[in-house]
Amino acid sequence: MPELPEVETVVRYLRPLLIEKKLHSVTVPTHYQNALHGISAEHLSRAITNQRIADVKRRGKFIVLELDTAFLCIHLRMTGRLLLGTLGAEQAKHVTATFNFCDGTSMHFKDVRKFGRIYHYTDLKPLDRKLGVEPLSSSFTAAQCAAFFGNRSRMIKPLLLDQAFVVGIGNIYADEILWASQIHPARKASTLMEQDFKNITKHTKKILRASIQKNGTTFQSFYYGEEASGAFVDFLQVFGKTNSPCLRCGTIIEKIKLAQRGTHICRQCQPPPDSYC
DNA sequence: CGCTTTGTTGAAAT
DNA sequence: TATTTCAACAAAGC
C-alpha cells in the first residue's frame, strides 16, 4: 500500500530513467477508461504527444511527471505499479494504461485492484487545493499541528490520514506514528497537549525518513521497478504485529477497528481516551 | 461469501 | 454554515 515513503521510492527510481524522455502516446484498453480522471484516452494521448519529461516529483502520494507544458499525475492507490520495458503475457495482466515514448520504449501502469488514477493538469493548483503540508518540509511543525488539531473534535488517527492537513500518511504510518508518540488513535485531537504535537511531528519525520532510506514498506504488494521490494517492513513496531508483544513494554498488541480502518495499538503505551476524562 | 484495502464523494448528522 | 461522520464505491484476492 503505497504511502509517502513508497511513492518517494518509486519517484527516485523513475526519475533518472524518465527524465528527458519524450512521450509519444498513451494507450488505454477500452474497459479501463476510468483509470483516467476526467479525460478521454484520445484527448490525453494528443495532449502529451511530443511532450518531454522535464522532471519526476512527488506531491503527497501523487507521482508528478512534469512535462514541457503540463503535468501528468499518477496516484497508485492500493496496488498501482509503474513498469518499464516490454512485459510478458503474465506481467501484462491488469495493465490499465501504457505510455509510449518516442524512443520506442514504454512504461506500463499495472493495477490489480484498478483503484489507481491518472490525472492531466495544466498546473498543480488542483492538487495543492486539496492537499495539505508536506510532513518532511520545514512548515510541518508542532505549532502548525496545534493550530490545526487544537480545536478539532475528530479522533487523531482519521485526522492524520486526512490529506487536507498533512499529506502522505496512510494506515501503516499512522499506526506507527501514534505508537511512537504513545497516543491512542481514538484520542480527540483537541485533548492533545503541546508535547503530543511535538512527538507527532518528530516521529512522523523520523519514521518517514527511515522508511525512505529502506525503500519503503513492502507489506503485501509494494514493489518498485521489476521486483524490488522495500525493507522497512522489518522495522515496523506495531502495524501487522497483532498478538505480538509490544516492543516497548511487552503488552500484547491488539488490532481494533477505528473509523472503518484496521488499527494496531498497545493498550499500555497508548492509554485509551476515557483515562483522560 | 464476507472481509480487507485507499481515497473520494455526497448525504446525513451534529 | 461549517464541521464531522457515515456509507457507498471503485475491484479483486484470500
Residue A61 bears catalytic tag: yes
Q: In this structure, what is the dihedral angle of CA atoms A217, A254, A258, A161, given to the nearest 10 degrees?
A: -30
Residue A46 bears catalytic tag: no
Looking at residue A276, what is its pLDDT?
A: 52
- pLDDT surpasses 70 at A230: yes
Looking at residue A50, what is its pLDDT?
A: 97
| Separation of A48 CA and C6 C1' (Å) | 39
What cell was used for A186?
Answer: 481514538
The tens digit of pLDDT for each residue in A144-172 reads 899 888 888 889 999 999 888 899 998 88
CB of A235 within 7 Å of some strand B atom: no
CB of A73 within 7 Å of some strand B atom: no
- pLDDT surpasses 60 at A277: no
CB of A129 within 7 Å of some strand B atom: no
Whether pTM exceeds 0.85: yes
Q: Which residues contact A32 (CB under 8 A, 6 or more apart)?
A: A96, A97, A114
CA angle, A29 as apex, A27 and A30 as ends, to 5°?
120
Residue A126 bears catalytic tag: no
* Alpha-carbon span A119 to A117, nearest angstrom: 7
CB of A144 within 7 Å of some strand B atom: no
The tens digit of pLDDT for each residue in A6-55 reads 899 999 999 999 999 999 999 998 888 888 888 889 999 999 999 999 99
Residue A14: count of CB within 10 angstroms of its CB: 20
Share of chain A above pLDDT 70, in %: 95
CB of A3 within 7 Å of some strand B atom: yes
Looking at residue A229, what is its pLDDT?
A: 67
Across the range A65-71, mean pLDDT stands at 94
Protein residue nearest nucleotide B14, by CA to C1': A153
Nucleotide nearest to A112 (CA to C1'): C12
A202 and A94 Cβ atoms separated by less than 8 Å: no
Check A59, A61, A81, A157 and give the catalytic one: A61
CB of A163 within 7 Å of some strand B atom: yes
Across the range A76-102, mean pLDDT stands at 88
The tens digit of pLDDT for each residue in A104-147 reads 999 999 888 888 899 999 988 888 888 889 999 999 999 989 98
* Alpha-carbon span A276 to A120, nearest angstrom: 47
